[in-house]
Amino acid sequence: MQRELVLFLSPELVNTLKDAVERSDSWHSTIYSTGPQRQQSLRDVEGLTSLLRNADTCFIATHTDFTQDACIEVEEGMALGSACKKAGVKNIVLSSHISCEKTIGIPAKHYDAKAEIYTYMRHKLELPVTMVNIPPTFDLFFNFLCPSTTTNGSYQVVFPCVGPAPIDFIASEDIGKCLLPVFEHPEVFRCKTVALCGDKLTGKMVVSILNQELAPMYFRERQVTTQDVRDRSAVGAIDMANMFEFLGRTDLKSSLSGTKELYPLVKSFKSWLADNKVLLVEATLSNLSDNIST
C-alpha cells in the first residue's frame, strides 16, 4: 500500500524530488510549489492543513526571494509547520540550515530564514522534525561561480577565498535520491540532522579538475575575498558571499561517506562535470571577465 507524501518545494528542487519519488513504488506524492509560481497561499494555515490531512510524510523546502524581506519566507515556513501540527503529520522533513548570522555574526538571508523556521517547528511547536542540510549545488558553476574568459584567451575561476578548508557541494539531481531513504525510514532519521555532501572543493581543486577534464582549455584561479563578492551588483551577492564565508569558517559535520550510505552513486564534481562539459564550456565562453564586477 502506497503512503501519502506531500512535498512543498522550492523551484530548484522540483525536478530532483519529482524524479526520485516517481521511481519509487512506496509513495503517492503531491507536489506544491513554494516559489513564485505557487498556486496556493503559504500563509493560510487552514488551507494548508486541508492539503496535509492524509499525509504520512511532509517535506518542506521554502523559497528565498533575495529581493524580498526574509520575514516573508519565515512566515510561510511557520504556517507550514503549524499546518503539519494541526493535520497530525507524523513525519516532517525540513530543508534547513544553521543560522549564519547567529553563528558568525553576518547575515545570509536564505540560511537565516530556514534556521528560524526550524527553530520554530522544533522548539515552539515541538514537532519531530528531521533537518536536511543541502549544500550549494554544482549548478552554481553555471552562474554565480561560472568560470570566465579573459581577453588573452585563458580562463579563470573565481572562488571566494575564506581559508584552506574545502566547501561542500552536491549535484542537484542527486538530492532527491539521497532523500528517499529519509522518507522511507522516518524512525531512523526523526529529530536528527542529515547533512548532504557530494564533494568537498577548494578553488585549487576546482581549477585542477577543470584543467584535467576540459583540456586544452587552461584555467587559473583568480583569488578574491568574500568582500570582493559582496561588492558585486548582482541580486543576492551579499547573502551568497556571507554564505561562503560561513561555509568556510564552520564545520557542518557533513559526511561524504554518510551521503553515500543514502545514495551510493552520488556524483563528485568530476563525475558531474563529465555529464555537463558542453554546457559549462558554453557558459564559460559567454562569460567575459570584463563583465565580472569584483
Is 186 a domain residue? no
> Is it true that the peptide bond before 216 is cis, omega within 30 degrees of 0?
yes
- Strand 199-201 and strand 167-169: the pairing is antiparallel
Kindly report the CATH number assigned to the domain that includes residue 21: 3.40.50.720
Q: What angle do CA 172, 43, 192 make, to 5 degrees?
A: 50
Same domain, residue pair 122 and 226? no
Domain count within the chain: 2
> How far out from the chain centre does Cα 160 lie?
18
CATH number for the domain harbouring residue 207: 3.90.25.10
Both 47 and 108 in one domain: the answer is: yes
Amino acid at 262: L
137-176 pLDDT tens trace? 999 999 999 999 998 888 999 988 777 789 999 999 999 9
pLDDT in tens, 168-216: 999 999 999 999 999 999 999 999 999 999 999 999 999 999 999 999 9
Percent of the chain surpassing pLDDT 90: 80
Q: Which residue has the cell 511532509?
A: 58
Residue 184, domain member (yes or no): no
The answer to whether residues 111 and 216 belong to one domain is no
Q: What is the mean pLDDT of residues 222-240?
A: 88
Q: Which class for 27: exposed (0-12), middle (13-18), buried (19 or more C-beta within 10 A)?
A: buried
- Of 114, 133, 152, the residue that ends a domain is 133
In a domain, 176, yes or no: no
- pLDDT higher than 50, residue 251: yes
Residue 80 and residue 149 in one domain: no
Q: Are residues 33 and 163 in the same domain?
A: no
| One domain for residues 143 and 242 | yes
- The answer on 287 and 142 residing in a single domain is yes
End-to-end CA distance of the chain: 55
In angstroms, the CA 192 to CA 50 distance is 27
Q: Which of 80, 111, 133 is the last residue of a domain?
A: 133
Q: What is the pTM of this model?
A: 0.93
Q: Please report which residue ranges of 107-236 form alpha helices under DSSP H.
A: 109-119, 172-184, 186-189, 203-213, 226-230
| C-alpha to C-alpha distance for 47 and 103, rounded to whole angstroms | 35
Which domain does 34 fall in, by range? 3-133
pLDDT at position 274 is 97
Residue 254 lies in a domain: no
Domain end, chosen from 116, 133, 150, is at 133
